[in-house]
Amino acid sequence: MTLFDIHTHTPHNINCDVYSYKYIENTFPDKFNDMLGTHNYFSCGIHPWYASNWRYKLALLEEIANNNSVLAIGECGLDKVRGLSIDLQINIFKAHIKISERVQKPLIIHCVRAWDMLLSICKESKPTQTWIVHGFRGKPMLAKSLALSGMSLSFGGVFNSESISVTPIDKIFLETDDSDIDIFDVYNKVAGEMNISIDLLANKVEDNVKKVFGRIV
Ligand SMILES: [Zn+2]
């Protein structure tokens, strides 16, 4: 059985002999070439914190998005606390949506205090690709409305436990992002919260990963 870390900036091996381990490493358009060949599974996009020279980075991403080792577009998104003006962030985010639809790959989303915007952009763009809100720590009401609009949620080491229980199991992904936590510990914590075994959770997450990221399983 395999544990999947669908979003990490700092991959590290897991302390566990029972499960194997696969991860999707996040990278940025201007860093992708250096990463290529070091690993098989990447996501690539313009993080709203690092969006300087975004026209150039977007042009790079248009090409990179076709690469077989890129399994998802992003992380990209909206951050009202940090980054460029929100109008500019929206334009850049919409460009990522277009790319995700063109290459038929899921979108990994970073969202901070811009939930209404995210929901309304989702409504107007009617994506055919899966949108995954990564590092979700929000409250259950928000988890519910994101899931209702079709989005999946990715949980890391810190989360609201009630949000786990209201999220449909076919919309759950797990990740370590930029933390030092072991993905096995995230599975352990989430399974405990759901009152199910790690094996069952791993099975369900594997189904989701297969459906959304295909080739990695
Ligand atoms: Zn991240």
pLDDT band at 217 (very low <50, low <70, confident <90, very high): confident
Place of tokens 């969006």: 51
CA distance 127 to 72: 14
CA 31 / ligand 1 centre spacing (Å):
15
Q: Which of 213, 211, 174, 217 is nearest to 193 (CA)?
A: 174
CA 165 / ligand 1 centre spacing (Å):
23
CA 9 / ligand 1 centre spacing (Å):
6
CA 109 / ligand 1 centre spacing (Å):
9
Q: What is the mean pLDDT of residues 92-104?
A: 98
The answer to whether residues 77 and 110 touch, using CB atoms and an 8 Å cutoff, is yes
CA 132 / ligand 1 centre spacing (Å):
12
CA 19 / ligand 1 centre spacing (Å):
24
CA 134 / ligand 1 centre spacing (Å):
7
CA 41 / ligand 1 centre spacing (Å):
15
2-216 is classed in which CATH architecture?
Answer: Alpha-Beta Barrel (3.20)
CA 112 / ligand 1 centre spacing (Å):
12
CA 86 / ligand 1 centre spacing (Å):
19
pLDDT given for residue 203 in this prediction: 97
Query: In one letter, which amino acid is 20?
Result: S
pTM: 0.96
34-87 confidence digits (pLDDT tens): 998 888 899 999 999 999 999 999 999 999 999 999 999 999 999 999 999 999
pLDDT band at 138 (very low <50, low <70, confident <90, very high): very high
Check the CA dihedral 63-67-69-73 and report its sign.
positive
CA 160 / ligand 1 centre spacing (Å):
18
Neighbouring C-beta atoms of residue 154, cutoff 10 Å: 22
What is the DSSP track for 14-82? -S-SSSEEEEEEEE-TTTHHHHTTS-S-EEE---GGG-TTHHHHHHHHHHHTTSTTEEEEEEEEEESSS
CA distance 143 to 141: 5
pLDDT given for residue 215 in this prediction: 77
CA 26 / ligand 1 centre spacing (Å):
7
CA distance 173 to 1: 16
